[in-house]
């Protein structure tokens, strides 16, 4: 298993960075491109998703991603955005505060990236094909990983268990990233409280917790103080699974937090067995809700920062679906169906001839349409029983057009077509404010009263709770084509995705610049 090193950088007002992505021979049978997950970049050509903002980089070819980071600091990451290559092609991307600007908390003694991943004992492309072509649920993974290692609770891997060293008394910053393909994960450290200070590259009002939950795509920064007796403590990543009756990888991966004094004495004495934390039950939604409701923006003031007037009031269902099919190898879903997924009943299809952004920029017709529905075509009880016949998604490449500078609100509503389940929804190109989350069907009259108009957290991946909803707001001030999708990759390949077309504003600085000369050809 590979270990990915973080790239740390100083963010000095705004810096332009240059990254050369070479496609290494290990991926010679497939092609890749890199998505800078959560970067609010003004260069849509550097965003990365295959067939959305660029065509894939062919084996042996290269593409240089050039973009500027504006007003962001915290933990971000990058990953391949083609097929399921991000299973192993990912890494941390850390933006430190501007020179001379302190953290909004005491300077930590160490900065420790903790990347949670997911591992199959098989070629990942074959795992993808099984889900994509048979129409059945995907095979579950064989292990979760912490910095590339599953840890010593799995047979055969005890030698490579990831260890983090701390000195007694010091406070360290853990930058935790859920890079798993298909699984939301709990994270705990035995005997240590975690002080949450940031999420998705935005600071929050600090609070302490024993348990974190991160959906794929999310990052969380926590402070940990080594205030326990010198020794060894397990750190765990374990599944949070909300879909009922769906198979999932119910294993726990571990890393070891080792006090420096404990590692010295262990040369002479046998290493004590690390202490195990209490790991939440896999479907412990109460713990997740209690945790996420504590996340509050550090910076925003009452009524400031987030849009208060709304120009676009959108309502998107998010959920799985089934399409009827003729029994055979490509029809392995339940009762002569294949799995599909959709937003507002549209199952997103990626174009194959060119990217959507190129088609927009060069006026190439026939690649996409801009009639993505602002509300579901049929109103129904979203989280109760509903007949499947009512809800067979349509396959199409539909975009929703936003005027530059418009204030957007989106209600993301889970559905119960196949299963109610938590969906981590990620929006490219933007950070958004999370105004509220809740369970059941969103009811504008009742639930608007619950909006946080004081300190809504700023994120760019938010979980839509199982059988519930999340409301987000942002200002569409970044022109380009920006994908919004479930960051569970099995749902993404089944179509749980859509894209916004944010049109140019007036003036050069608000327009999409021409594509770079080395943009990969289609």
3-state secondary structure of 227: coil
Pick the closer one to ligand C2O by CB: 81 or 338.
81
Instruction: Please tell me whether residue 81 binds ligand C2O under the rule CB under 6 A.
Output: yes
Tokens of 280: 């939440």
Burial label, 483 (beta-carbon count in 10 A; 0-12, 13-18, 19+): buried
Q: Least distance in Å: CB of 316 to ligand C2O? A: 16
Q: Least distance in Å: CB of 66 to ligand C2O? A: 19
CB of 65 within 8 A of CB of 19? yes
Pick the closer one to ligand C2O by CB: 426 or 473.
426
Q: Which residues pair with 213 in a beta bridge?
A: 186
Q: Least distance in Å: CB of 483 to ligand C2O? A: 5
3-state secondary structure of 183: coil
Q: Least distance in Å: CB of 37 to ligand C2O? A: 3
Distance CA 80, CA 96 (A): 23
3-state secondary structure of 501: strand
Pick the closer one to ligand C2O by CB: 192 or 487.
487
Q: Applying CB under 6 A, which of residues 175, 192, 428, 473 lies at the interface with ligand C2O?
A: 428
Instruction: Tell me which stretch binds ligand C2O (CB under 6 A): 138-146, 152-160, 362-370, 479-487.
Output: 479-487
Q: Which residue's CB atom is positioned nearest to ligand C2O?
A: 37
Q: Least distance in Å: CB of 216 to ligand C2O? A: 8
Instruction: Please tell me whether residue 485 binds ligand C2O under the rule CB under 6 A.
Output: yes
Q: Which residues pair with 62 in a beta bridge?
A: 22
Pick the closer one to ligand C2O by CB: 192 or 459.
459
Pick the closer one to ligand C2O by CB: 89 or 340.
89
Q: Applying CB under 6 A, which of residues 173, 483, 486, 502 lies at the interface with ligand C2O?
A: 483
Instruction: Please tell me whether residue 398 binds ligand C2O under the rule CB under 6 A.
Output: no
Burial label, 130 (beta-carbon count in 10 A; 0-12, 13-18, 19+): middle
CA atoms within 13 A on the CB side of 244: 8
Q: Least distance in Å: CB of 52 to ligand C2O? A: 8
Strands 163-166 and 194-199 come out as unpaired
Interaction pattern, residues 174-213, with ligand C2O; x per rule: CB under 6 A: ----------------------------------------
CB of 39 within 8 A of CB of 72? yes
Interaction pattern, residues 15-54, with ligand C2O; x per rule: CB under 6 A: --------------------x-x-----------x-----
How many angstroms separate the Cα of 395 from the Cα of each of 293, 349, 368, 372? 35, 6, 12, 12
Q: Least distance in Å: CB of 402 to ligand C2O? A: 18
DSSP 58-126: PTT-EEEEEEEEES--EEEEEEE-STTGGGTSEEEEEEEPPTTPPPSSPPPSEEEEEEEEEE-SS-HHH
Instruction: Tell me which stretch binds ligand C2O (CB under 6 A): 142-150, 190-198, 368-376, 482-490.
Output: 482-490
Q: Least distance in Å: CB of 317 to ligand C2O? A: 19
Instruction: Please tell me whether residue 426 binds ligand C2O under the rule CB under 6 A.
Output: yes
Q: Least distance in Å: CB of 6 to ligand C2O? A: 16
How many angstroms separate the Cα of 349 from the Cα of each of 128, 203, 504? 16, 35, 25
Tokens of 363: 């006026």
Instruction: Tell me which stretch binds ligand C2O (CB under 6 A): 16-24, 133-141, 430-438, 480-488.
Output: 480-488
Instruction: Tell me which stretch binds ligand C2O (CB under 6 A): 197-205, 333-341, 397-405, 481-489.
Output: 481-489
Contacts for 262 with CB less than 8 Å, ≥ 6 apart: 230, 231, 232, 272
How many angstroms separate the Cα of 343 from the Cα of each of 79, 310, 340, 461? 24, 21, 11, 16
- Site size toward ligand C2O (CB under 6 A) is 11
CB of 514 within 8 A of CB of 446? no
Q: Least distance in Å: CB of 276 to ligand C2O? A: 31
Q: Least distance in Å: CB of 428 to ligand C2O? A: 6
CA nearest to 399, candidates 365, 348, 473: 348
Interface of this chain with ligand C2O, residues 494 to 513, rule: CB under 6 A: none
Pick the closer one to ligand C2O by CB: 505 or 520.
520
CA atoms within 13 A on the CB side of 51: 13
By the criterion CB under 6 A, which residues form the site for ligand C2O? Answer: 35, 37, 49, 79, 81, 217, 426, 428, 483, 485, 487
């Amino acid at each position: 298993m590979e270990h990915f090193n973080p790239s740390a950088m100083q963010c000095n007002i705004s810096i332009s960075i240059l990254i050369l992505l070479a496609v290494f021979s290990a991926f010679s049978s497939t092609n890749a491109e890199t998505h800078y997950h959560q970067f609010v970049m003004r260069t849509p050509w550097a965003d990365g998703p295959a067939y959305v903002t660029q065509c894939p980089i062919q084996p042996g070819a290269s593409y240089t991603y050039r973009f500027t980071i504006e007003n962001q600091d915290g933990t971000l990451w990058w990953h391949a955005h083609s097929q399921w290559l991000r299973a192993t092609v990912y890494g941390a991307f850390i933006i430190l505060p501007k020179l001379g600007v302190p953290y909004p908390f005491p300077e930590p003694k160490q900065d420790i990236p903790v990347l949670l991943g997911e591992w199959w004992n098989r070629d990942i492309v074959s795992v993808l094909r099984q889900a994509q072509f048979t129409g059945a649920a995907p095979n579950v993974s064989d292990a979760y990983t912490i910095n590339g290692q599953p840890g010593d609770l799995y047979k055969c891997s005890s030698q490579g268990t990831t260890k983090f060293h701390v000195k007694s008394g010091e406070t360290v910053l853990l930058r935790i990233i859920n890079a798993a393909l298909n699984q939301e994960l709990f994270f705990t450290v035995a005997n240590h409280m975690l002080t949450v200070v940031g999420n998705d590259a935005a600071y929050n009002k600090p609070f302490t917790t024993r348990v974190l939950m991160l959906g794929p795509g999310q990052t969380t920064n926590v402070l940990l103080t080594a205030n326990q007796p010198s020794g060894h403590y397990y750190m765990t990543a374990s599944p949070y699974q909300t879909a009922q009756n769906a198979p999932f990888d119910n294993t726990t991966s571990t890393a070891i937090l080792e006090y420096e004094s404990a590692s010295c004495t262990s040369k002479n004495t046998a290493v004590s067995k690390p202490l195990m934390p209490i790991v939440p039950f896999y479907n412990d939604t109460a713990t997740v809700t209690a945790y996420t409701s504590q996340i509050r923006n550090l910076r925003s003031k009452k009524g400031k920062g987030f849009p208060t007037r709304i120009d676009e009031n959108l309502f998107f269902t998010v959920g799985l679906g089934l399409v009827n099919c003729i029994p055979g190898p490509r029809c392995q879903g339940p009762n002569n169906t294949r799995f599909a997924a959709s937003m507002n009943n549209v199952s997103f299809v990626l174009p194959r001839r060119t990217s959507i952004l190129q088609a927009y920029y060069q006026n190439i017709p026939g690649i996409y349409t801009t009639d993505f529905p602002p509300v579901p075509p049929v109103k129904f009880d979203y989280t109760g029983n509903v007949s499947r016949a009512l809800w067979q998604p349509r396959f199409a490449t539909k975009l929703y057009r936003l005027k530059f500078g418009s204030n957007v609100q989106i209600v993301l509503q889970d559905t119960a077509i196949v299963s109610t389940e938590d969906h981590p929804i990620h929006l490219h190109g933007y950070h958004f404010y999370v105004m509220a989350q809740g369970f059941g069907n969103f009811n504008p009259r009742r639930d608007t009263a619950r909006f946080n108009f004081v300190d809504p957290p700023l994120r760019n991946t938010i979980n839509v709770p199982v059988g519930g909803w999340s409301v987000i707001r942002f200002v569409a001030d970044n022109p380009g084509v920006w994908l919004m999708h479930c960051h569970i990759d099995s749902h993404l390949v089944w179509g749980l995705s859509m894209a916004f077309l944010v049109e140019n504003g007036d003036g050069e600085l608000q327009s999409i610049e021409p594509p770079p000369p080395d943009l990969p050809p289609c």
